[in-house]
Amino acid sequence: MALPEPDLFGCPVARTAQIIGNKWTPLIVRDLVAGDRRFSELERSLVGISPKTLSERLKYLEAKEIVERRCYAEVPPRVVYSLTEKGHALLSVIESMREYGVVWLKRDCDAPAAGGAEAAAEALAGAPA
């Protein structure tokens, strides 16, 4: 039996960052918001992720009870991933990260928002993640 992972971070913010601080985790959660996804669907949507990295992140998120993995006894075998209730609770954190990026981390190729920051904030309220 594996020993429990020690809690090296007393602060709730640090514990949350420990889970979502990886480059790919917020993007995996984002992709699973729409519902069940197969490994190959996640791999296609996450441009640049290696199959090994995706597999490792999914296993980690499953261990943290963020993602649920379901296997179906079909030929060929089908495995789907979905967010748990705990995973859905991360959506507000990830949405806040997206909003921050839109407002404060603009790229040169980003089109300026008509009306400035107020219009950007209004657009965020109705924009899909």
Q: Which residue has the tokens 């899909």?
A: 128
The answer to whether 43 and 54 have CB atoms below 8 angstroms apart is yes
pLDDT band at 1 (very low <50, low <70, confident <90, very high): low
Domain map of the chain by residue range?
A: 1-88, 90-129
CATH 1.10.10.10 assigned to 1-88: yes
| Predicted structure pTM score | 0.72
Res 86: pLDDT? 96
CA dist., res. 13 & res. 66, Å (int): 17
**pLDDT per residue as tens digits for the range 71-120:** 999 888 899 999 999 999 999 999 998 899 999 998 765 655 444 445 44
CA–CA dist 60, 54 (Å, integer): 10
pLDDT of the residue at 116: 46
CA distance 69 to 79: 7
Neighbours of 111 (CB within 10 A): 6
Between 9 and 37, name the one with better pLDDT: 37
